[in-house]
Structure 1
Amino acid sequence: MSVGEDTHLAGVDRARVVPWLAAHVDGLVAPVEFALVSGGRSNLTYRITDAAGRGYALRRPPMGGVLATAHDMSREWRFISALAPTAVPVAPPLAYCADPGVTGAEFYVMGFVEGRVLADHDAGVALGAPACARAGEHLVEVLVALHALDPAEVGLGDLVRRTGYVERQLRRWHAQLHASAAQLPAMATEVALLDEVHDLLVAHVPRQSTGVVHGDYRPGNMAFGADGTVRAVFDWELATTGDPLADLGWLASSWQDPGEETAATTPGPSTAPGSPRRAELVQRYARLSGRDVSNLPYWVAFSRWRSACIGAGVQARYLAGHMADDGYLAEARARAEQGARLGEAARDALRQLGI
């Protein structure tokens, strides 16, 4: 992620936000400076630096184009608050604002965790091979720690649903795909393919277990120390309770091995020197967690399909001007264009299971 200072940032009403921060964030000293942190493609993140030099992060939804059930700040806040006392590293939760009158939407403030976000190959190269190797090991260890939590014991028991995780997710993302496609008529062919994959996924839902699921678990949503250890896991807006293999499937689908033709669902450091291979991550997870991962191809297929749905939504929001200008529009278009390839890759993963 990168930070760009701006005294008139879209999404932040300084005249209202600064007094609110001074009144609700313990220890914060006004005046403050705001800077947009680029890298997040769903919600907006701003770095706050107060007069004492302390750093904070403010998270809020886009300025418009918010799809139903998406961009839920209260959900993110609840999960980081629940996980803060556990072995899962998260940014310290500091304050939550439920009043959209302050800056046009609900938002929350957390401590700013310094670290390297391994969002692409170059970030992995810059970290160095030994640290990349440790990063691959530790992100699996953190994922195992997350999945070992009992939702009820950490205060999330009321989020456990009677209906299965994947059934809920398929309904949600299928609806949001079509909501986004309504703004992008050129997507008709891609949508037809994703509809086909959706129907295959619905028809072959595996037996599921229940745990805490991050929903977007990958190196690009974490801050790493120079030694490769995970300092904090970010972006909990998709967090829920459900089958932990959904997270492993998402991580595996984003982890491209060197020389592999199938594109990753999202960029990452997996092809940088020192990074473990995908199979090593999966084997490490299976060994440390004790879970059966034989159905992982299904979850990889689901992850690729979901990534294509998310890419359509990101492109629709940027084209409609609902995201702050962080220079990502061209990349958003490119990501959306790979939706068909992801749909085909999802279908290929299902064929591995004989579907």
Structure 2
Amino acid sequence: MSVELDLGALAVWMRSAGESVVGELTGRRVGQGQSNLTYRIDDEAGHSWIARRPPLGKLLASAHDVAREYRIMSALRGSGVPVPPTIGVCTDVGVADVPVFVMAHVEGTVVDDEETARALTPDVRRRLGLDLARTLAKIHAVDIDAVGLGDLASRKPYAPRQLKRWARQLEESRTQDRPDLDALTELLRENIPEPDEIALVHGDFHVRNVIIDEATGGIRAVLDWELSTLGDPLADMGSALAYWTQAGDMPGGMFAASTLDGFPTRAEMAAEYLRASGRSGQALGFWHVLGVWKVAIIAEGVYRRVLDEPENAAGVTLTPENIQALVDHGWDVAKENGLVT
């Protein structure tokens, strides 16, 4: 795939930001992400960086804000949350017609396909799954005021904010009528739990958004903070469970490698998170349903962007049937958790 950046101009900017760039830069698209576009950038001496820019085509309001992502990741340095060192945000129109966020490249493995997951031993897979839960607990333990993120977003009750925001996103990116998805929206509105504490919420936490040590399964860096906000920490665990496929689940175009031997079940991950965080899981069922609902809306938005601009595709093909399977799964989770009989 082409690199939608002027690498010569980017090299000039990076040197001005204090980076030792040797010779010319080369770049290639990396990752399966279909939101912000991510590139690995290398110089002639073997130094590497990561650059992120918003996707091509029409952008939804408030989405894909790489400058905000830079602020969050910079604030988390030294907090105990593993994040890559940040370089800065380039706004030089000679580099791109949108802001570009540059960070250090962290060595390690991103488990973003089944082949990579199969290369891990069952013991490493288990440690990875449980370390995802422990790392999420670390994110939620951050003192948001102490790190300068206390004003990142509203501190009003999180569930109504999420329902309003993502229902609006659905309306703006809808590719077809989905009455059962709309009915799931209403079910969630009718079952909003009492507000809990306010914490930093990653907003898109799953196995493809972390870099791991392939030998141990430990997490070296958490990536993709563009959806981060302030809210109920159980929302993040609900989203993590929504992304975590396990044996017996219906196919939905989701990342299915977590069905391999060794990876913990959703129940085991939830239990490890609750142990590490010290929180009650009473409302976790609601947040799990909301997580699946949100994933379905994100998938609809990705499908809309690919229809509008095929270059936004990144090797993963979504279909209307995949999105429908996600909606169906949302209803199954709602039944499992007593939100509907």
TM-score (norm 2): 0.92
Q: Pick from 73, 80, 85: which aligns with 1:87?
A: 80
After TM superposition, the structure 1 stretch with the greater mean CA deviation from structure 2, 228-237 or 89-98, is 89-98
1:169-180 alignment to 2 at 5 Å? 169-180=162-173
- The whole-number CA distance in structure 1 between the counterparts of 2:324 and 2:314 is 26
Q: Pick from 131, 140, 143: which aligns with 1:138?
A: 131
CA 1:90–1:266: 2 relative to 1, 3 Å: farther
Q: Does 1:298 align with 2:286?
A: yes
Deviation string 1:299-351 (CA, Å, 9 cap, x unpaired) is 111011111111111111112126456444xx123xx4322222232233333
- The whole-number CA distance in structure 1 between the counterparts of 2:253 and 2:297 is 11
CA 1:12–1:325: 2 relative to 1, 3 Å: farther
Q: Does 1:307 align with 2:292?
A: no
Q: Does 1:222 align with 2:206?
A: no
Structure 1 residue runs of 5 or longer lacking an equivalent are: none
Q: Does 1:57 align with 2:50?
A: yes
- The whole-number CA distance in structure 1 between the counterparts of 2:170 and 2:187 is 16
**Alpha-carbon offset, residue 10 of structure 1:** 4.4
- The whole-number CA distance in structure 2 between the counterparts of 1:245 and 1:266 is 21
**Quick check: 2:293–2:330 contact (8 Å CA) kept in 1?**
yes
TM-score (norm 1): 0.89
CA 1:171–1:101: 2 relative to 1, 3 Å: farther
Q: Does 1:319 align with 2:312?
A: no
Any idea what SS the aligned residue of 1:212 has?
A: strand
Any idea what SS the aligned residue of 1:12 has?
A: coil
- The whole-number CA distance in structure 1 between the counterparts of 2:339 and 2:208 is 32
CA 1:26–1:294: 2 relative to 1, 3 Å: same
CA 1:215–1:56: 2 relative to 1, 3 Å: same
**Quick check: 1:219–1:268 contact (8 Å CA) kept in 2?**
no
| Residue in 2 that maps onto 1:96 | 89
Q: Deviating runs (4+, > 4 A) in structure 1?
A: none
Q: Pick from 181, 199, 203: which aligns with 2:190?
A: 203
AA partner of residue 29 (structure 2): L
| Equivalences, count | 337
AA partner of residue 205 (structure 1): I
CA 1:240–1:279: 2 relative to 1, 3 Å: same
- The whole-number CA distance in structure 1 between the counterparts of 2:149 and 2:267 is 32
- The whole-number CA distance in structure 2 between the counterparts of 1:263 and 1:285 is 26
- The whole-number CA distance in structure 1 between the counterparts of 2:172 and 2:49 is 34
Q: Does 1:261 align with 2:249?
A: yes
Q: Pick from 316, 321, 327: which aligns with 1:337?
A: 321
Deviation string 1:225-280 (CA, Å, 9 cap, x unpaired) is 1211101111111011111111111111222222x134568315321221112111
**Quick check: 2:285–2:334 contact (8 Å CA) kept in 1?**
yes
| Residue in 2 that maps onto 1:148 | 141
Q: Pick from 105, 113, 117: which aligns with 1:112?
A: 105
AA partner of residue 251 (structure 1): A
AA partner of residue 278 (structure 1): R
AA partner of residue 343 (structure 1): V
Tell me how large the CA RMSD over aligned residues is.
1.9
Q: Does 1:67 align with 2:54?
A: no
Any idea what SS the aligned residue of 1:157 has?
A: coil
Identical aligned pairs, as a percentage? 36
- The whole-number CA distance in structure 2 between the counterparts of 1:112 and 1:143 is 21
Any idea what SS the aligned residue of 1:223 has?
A: strand
| Residue in 1 that maps onto 2:230 | 241
**Quick check: 2:7–2:26 contact (8 Å CA) kept in 1?**
no
AA partner of residue 233 (structure 1): V
**Quick check: 2:8–2:25 contact (8 Å CA) kept in 1?**
no
CA 1:216–1:127: 2 relative to 1, 3 Å: same
Any idea what SS the aligned residue of 1:150 has?
A: coil
**Quick check: 1:62–1:322 contact (8 Å CA) kept in 2?**
no
AA partner of residue 233 (structure 2): P
- The whole-number CA distance in structure 1 between the counterparts of 2:180 and 2:314 is 31
Q: Does 1:353 align with 2:341?
A: no
- The whole-number CA distance in structure 2 between the counterparts of 1:82 and 1:37 is 25
